[in-house]
Chain A
Amino acid sequence: MQKVYSDAESALKGLADGASIAVGGFGLSGNPENLITAVSKLGTKNLTVVSNNCGTTELGLGVLLKAKQIKKMISSYVGENKEFERQFLAGELEVELCPQGTLAERLRAGGAGIGGFFTPTGYGTQIAEGKETRIIDGKGYVLEKPLVTDFAFVKAWKGDAWGNLVFRKTARNFNPVAAMAGKITIAEVEELVPVGALDPDQVHLPSVYVHRIFQGKNYQKWIEQRTVREKK
């Protein structure tokens, strides 16, 4: 089994214009920074990106947006990115807004072979328009479809050479479900360890979901809202 790559550039082999990519992260936390930077350098265009947010105006996925590499975004919240708003209002960017829990479940469903699911989220709102709805045991539900993407980019704290992943704190967020949804899932990790070095009971994402893995470098780990309290 050979899943280990030397860097982001080599791990991206086969990524072409028009590809769809599920990207892990919540805000700027748990972002696959190396892969985003490498796609920015490659200049791949017309991408459909599935990610909870779209970075900020200058950071994370915002870099790809600013360079007009993204054709369509599927997200739940894009409030921290001015350029996003501008491109959307100018009609330069396709946007599918999807409730956060529905987005997570659509990615999970895509990876789990589920053809769709009925969720109460958004029933009776414009999110349900054009979708099948059903009353089940007296409660209204909306049919939501799974998401499967050509690639998935995820970031983990540690990973082994087979692709078993361990996340750290809230940097886990969308990463496991993004990994499940990808036909080719690329994981970048802060620390790549040999097979056998991770306690199997402590693995958060089993290696079967990861096709390529590399140890990232120069992590910036930006903080969007630095909030602190005074020492008394």
Chain B
Amino acid sequence: MLTREQIAARVARELKDGFYVNLGIGLPTLVANYIPDGVEVVLQSENGLLGIGPFPFAGDEDPDLINAGKQTVTEIKGSSYFSSADSFAMIRGGKIDLSVLGALQISHKKGEPRGDLANWMVPGKMVKGMGGAMDLVAGTKRVIIAMEHVAKGEAKIVKECTLPLTGKGVVDTIVTDLAYMDVTPEGIVVRELAPGVTKHELVAQTKAPLLFAPDLQTMAV
């Protein structure tokens, strides 16, 4: 089983030089700590910044410079600022190469190229809102879900999402503490298993059919 940091590190290996990337709040944010050497990426913050830098040194915090999680951040050389309308133009317009988000539930319908995602609402419970998640999944070129495979004993990869959807046909890849999986029209294909995890264990913790890649690998961590 992978730690949260190891999940983030595995996702980071999907980053390519020149990518513009949006990282969601929580686990996805950790991906920024594992950007491979020699790979230059620009991190987008949907409140209006291209080029998120590390947290500021104590005393240098600027209330006018925050990320989408409302955390104080810094800008890198080559950054730009813009309005929320411009920010979502680049998101919806497919200019952002990759979006990494968390999930409450994921499902896939055979024949569809991508998976369905629910990550914004539990009816009758929290009233928080979808923020930018619906726009991000609707417009970004590739969507990777980074999450723990099960939550409180409940499978999150299911036959059909029962929670309200964030997007229909939007998920390309799923990276969990147990496996790396790609969504394909044929089904969810397991390409890598985390070290020490068996096919049997993975299937037992998943409530949707899984296919195993012919060249199934053990994930390098």
Residues of chain A at the chain B interface (Cβ within 8 Å): 26-30, 52, 75-80, 84-85, 88-89, 95, 97, 99-105, 107-108, 119-127, 157, 167-177, 204, 221-231
Contacts and interface: CB of A to CB of B under 8 A. Distances in A.
Interface string B164-191: 1111110000000000000000000000
Given A122-B134, A123-B167, A123-B168, 11 more contacts: A26-B70, A52-B84, A77-B131, A99-B130, A103-B84, A124-B168, A157-B64, A170-B67, A173-B83, A221-B64, A229-B56
A107 B129 contact: no
B168 to A, nearest CB: 3
B61 interface: yes
A123 B134 CA distance: 9
A124 B83 contact: no
A175 B134 contact: no
B38 interface: no
A186 to B, nearest CB: 18
A78 B49 CA distance: 21
Contacts of A169: 49, 62, 64-65, 75, 81
8 contacts: A78-B127, A122-B134, A170-B45, A172-B83, A173-B83, A176-B83, A223-B72, A228-B61
Interface string B13-32: 00000000000000000000
A126 B164 contact: yes
Counting chain B CB atoms within 10 Å of each CB, which of A30, A77, A127, A173 scores highest? A173
B48 interface: yes
A76 B128 CA distance: 8
A124 B87 CA distance: 23
A171 B149 CA distance: 37
Interface in B33-89: 45-49, 54-58, 60-73, 75, 81-85, 87-88
Given A29-B64, A224-B66, A173 B48 contact: yes
A108 B134 contact: no
A230 to B, nearest CB: 8
B70 A28 contact: yes
Contacts of A26: 47-48, 66, 68, 70, 84
Interface residues of B, number: 53
B83 A174 contact: yes
A143 B194 CA distance: 43
Given A169-B81, A229-B55, A229-B57, A222 B63 contact: yes
Given A30-B64, A223-B61, A223-B63, A104 B83 contact: yes
B160 interface: no
B54 A119 contact: no
Contact of B92 (A88, A120, A226, A229): A120
Given A26-B84, A100-B132, A223-B61, A85 B138 contact: no
Given A76-B130, A84-B127, A120-B139, A226 B166 contact: no
Contact of B66 (A29, A52, A125, A157): A29
Nearest 4 CB-CB pairs, A to B? A101-B88, A124-B168, A101-B135, A79-B128
Counting chain A CB atoms within 10 Å of each CB, which of B45, B85, B135 scores highest? B85
B203 to A, nearest CB: 28
A231 B46 CA distance: 28
Interface in B116-150: 116, 126-135, 138-139
